[in-house]
Amino acid sequence: MASRATMEGKGTAVPVEKDPDILAAAARMAGEDLCSIADLSSGEVRAILRLGHDVKGNPREYRHALDGKQMVLMFEKASLRTRLAFETGINTLGGNAIFVDQTNQPLGERETIADVARNLERWVDVIVLRTYAHDTITEMAANARVPVINALSDFEHPCQALADFMALEEHFGTATGLNFTYVGDGNNVCHSLMLAGAQLGANVTVATPRGYSPDIEIVTKAREIAEANGCEIRLLQDPQAAVESADAVYTDVCVSMGMEHESTKRAPIFRPFQVNEALMSKAAPHAVFMHCLPARRNEEVTDAVIDSPQSIVFEQAENRLHAQKALLLLLLGGLANVKAFSS
């Protein structure tokens, strides 16, 4: 491990095993939940990303870190990236994943969430939930003695935001000072991006149609964090102004899972917010395009943009694996089993 490259260009020249943010996060986060990006300090967000970069570059060093650990994934919604990244992640760290399909029977319907939690904590080491109601996740976390991870709720998508900013760090070297613009629906993904951007010192601009702004509770919290970190959160209703000089332009579907009945209503409202070549031309020449996927091509984004050299959507998707591995390592105390950290 002595020959491992330091994280120079990712915000520090300190070897990861001596990184104060990672060491502090390992001590504080073990056994904790991740329901929201707001559950993390700025140092902990930095630690997850720095550890994610190292896990990505040096996977062999971590392959036995979670030997014998059991993870259950209980999903009320369909998933590609989230599920496979968690399953592959814990498997390559030495643990095991168990998937429980809840798409036909939401959690809390057959038996109370509290009772489910009290069963699961006796069998597994971590619970990963993908739900409609955010309350399902917070109730599980309140009743389970093992870590609970939000793998998407109607209020937040923290794992997505971590991977997204990891991709930005790879591309730009740091997220601090970046001008990050989100265009579209002020949804769960938007909420987590605002919080993560503020934690990392990025200037976040959100452009939504009137009536589709992000939740005021999230806006208030993100602005508090941003003030402490010397950056800014802006809310606009003009996508043209929002992308002006942006380093990154991000969008998501305008109809989230569970909202399909609003498709016809939303289509004309969000049409002016489509990310196309004309809109991207207003961003900085070096700007990247981002999307959490799956994309509804030629609706919220055109083929010409998502398939362009500016697009880093598949880098984002790849980093779901590495960011989620880093998160599991910290929540499950896995660094104690990694030679460099234990020596």
CA dist 214 and 221 (Å) reads 12
- pTM above 0.85? yes
CB 331 within 8 A of CB 162: no
β-sheet bridge partners, residue 282: none
Q: What is the pLDDT of residues 29-63, one digit of tens each?
A: 999 999 999 999 999 999 999 999 999 999 999 99
Give the CA-trace dihedral at 321, 48, 10, 341, to 10 degrees.
-100
CA dist 178 and 16 (Å) reads 24
Give the per-residue pLDDT at 158: 98
224-249 per-residue burial string, b: 16 or more CB within 10 A, e: under 16 = ebbeebebebebbbebeebbeebbbb
Contacts (Cβ under 8 Å, ≥6 apart) of 211: none
- CA–chain centroid gap for 296, Å, is 20
- The conformational region for residue 275 under phi > 0 = left, psi -120 to 50 = alpha, else beta, is beta
* Cα atoms in the 13 Å half-sphere on the side-chain side of 277: 5
Rg (CA), the chain: 19
- Both tokens assigned to 230: 């010397």
- Both tokens assigned to 19: 């990184």
* Annotation: CATH topology of 16-156+319-336: Rossmann fold (3.40.50)
Give the per-residue pLDDT at 255: 75
Give the per-residue pLDDT at 11: 44
Written as one string, the DSSP assignment of 79-104 is: -SHHHHHHHHHHHHTT-EEEEEE-TT
- Both tokens assigned to 49: 């990303």
Secondary structure (3-state) at 340: helix
CA dist 135 and 154 (Å) reads 9
What's the chain's average pLDDT?
94
Segment 122-131 shows an average pLDDT of: 98
Give the per-residue pLDDT at 259: 67
CB 330 within 8 A of CB 47: yes
Q: What is the identity of the amino acid at 247?
A: D
CA dist 145 and 95 (Å) reads 19
Of 3-7, 79-83, 142-146, which range is least confident? 3-7
pLDDT band at 13 (very low <50, low <70, confident <90, very high): low
Stretch(es) of the chain classified as CATH 3.40.50.1370: 16-156+319-336, 158-317
CA dist 83 and 74 (Å) reads 10
Segment 277-295 shows an average pLDDT of: 98
Q: 158-317 — its CATH code?
A: 3.40.50.1370
Q: What is the pLDDT of residues 141-183, one digit of tens each?
A: 999 999 999 999 999 999 999 999 999 999 999 999 999 999 9
Q: Any long-range contacts for 253-258 (C-beta under 8 Å, 24+ apart)?
A: 253/184, 253/185, 253/294, 253/295, 253/296, 253/299, 253/300, 254/184, 254/185, 254/299, 254/300, 255/185, 255/296, 256/154, 256/185, 256/187, 256/188, 257/77, 257/78, 257/132, 258/77, 258/132, 258/154
Secondary structure (3-state) at 319: helix
- Annotated catalytic sites, by residue? 130, 157, 160, 252, 292, 320
pLDDT band at 8 (very low <50, low <70, confident <90, very high): very low
Give the per-residue pLDDT at 343: 77
Q: What is the pLDDT of residues 237-271, one digit of tens each?
A: 999 999 999 999 999 999 766 667 677 889 999 99
